[in-house]
Amino acid sequence: MDATPRHSLTLQFKDREAFGNFCLALTEAGVPFSLAGHQTMVLTQTAEVKQLRGRPRAFLNKCVTNNLVEIRPATAVRKRRRLLTPEESSRIFEERAKTL
């Protein structure tokens, strides 16, 4: 069992082209990542910035130098909104329809 602590980093790109090129570089290098919103990606422990090599590392350094990316620790995922039951939806619809 791997006892290495798990850390994730969020990379928020300010430039769409830089974001796309970095995603492509990571994909070509076989580095796993996930998308987390507008021009934002999350790198897991196995792909931390310190461990990047080759083209992805060079491209990320260029983006950091040109202030095209912000790197932050990933925050906890927000709870998802609870969906209403059909009965709750009908009740709310009827209440709102009466006010019109």
Written as six digits, the tokens of 79 are 């709870």
Q: CA 17, CA 13: separation in Å to the nearest integer?
A: 9
Q: Which CATH number fits domain 9-73: 3.40.50, 3.30.70, 3.30.1480, 3.60.21?
A: 3.30.70
In sequence order, which residues have a C-beta less than 8 Å from that of residue 76 and are 6 or more positions away? Answer: none
| pLDDT tens digits, 6-52 | 567 788 899 999 999 999 998 888 888 888 878 888 887 544 666 77
> CA–CA distance from 38 to each of 18, 58, 86, 90 (Å)?
13, 23, 32, 34
| pLDDT tens digits, 68-94 | 998 887 765 555 667 778 888 888 888
What is the value of pTM for the model shown?
Answer: 0.62
Written as six digits, the tokens of 89 are 């939806």
CB 69 within 8 A of CB 59: no
Kindly list the domain boundaries of the chain, sorted by start residue.
9-73
